[in-house]
Structure 1
């Protein structure tokens, strides 16, 4: 999904006829980065919304969830196990295992499966 969001950002940039300097200034002002590749998943969603507000005719396909089936499973297991079942809390949990990952939605499938298994073990220990 991250790849699709990056595509939408560049389509929106083209539709708005944004030159490179203006685009980089927008990224710098809003997200303190000079490339969309360096911003988090949630910030990419915000960037798509900003481009839409500026007039770009881009949108995510209807009916499709921004999360993969594996990511939805991770979220469901997290909500069943954690006392504080917020996205920020899950991010903190994930960072303990994958320090380079800023947002749990950016985990690849292998990493997501690993976190799910760890949460299942935690759930067993809690007796839930």
Structure 2
């Protein structure tokens, strides 16, 4: 399947309406049509779509996680990928990591609360240790600064400050969000934070390969 065809398959698979789809293209490439994208831009868009759940082949779902806690575990794993500390974003890699770190079989950790908690806390501890994510509850902070998206995006922002000198002009992640994405962090919803994390994740991985 060509990259262009994959983008259109992803659009349909993710149920993106035309406005959302065009906005994604503009945000990531500055162009509103996939047909106008360069090969590198097409790869970047596909990577963003994969972050949002696009499965390029039907085989991908056969080894995927299922169960009460699957979405939370997958979200944390993709966040770790967007922080640059995970090299393989697949469910198979997630299962192997949890089994290696906590000795928990994946059939148990996606169904049993105690095992799921151990797996979730294990991933969060790793993200704190390797990427500087601050999970501490600070009662004096507003609610929007207490959400996982803000905590992860803040850690990504400081990683980018080390990788890209141009980030030095931004005082905080909310300043960068307002400048680059024209969003107000105080009023962002969970899907907005996913957009921010995905966008910064692309930049982190690009910076790590230079």
TM > 0.5 fold call: no
TM-score norm. by structure 1 comes to 0.43
TM-score norm. by structure 2 comes to 0.26
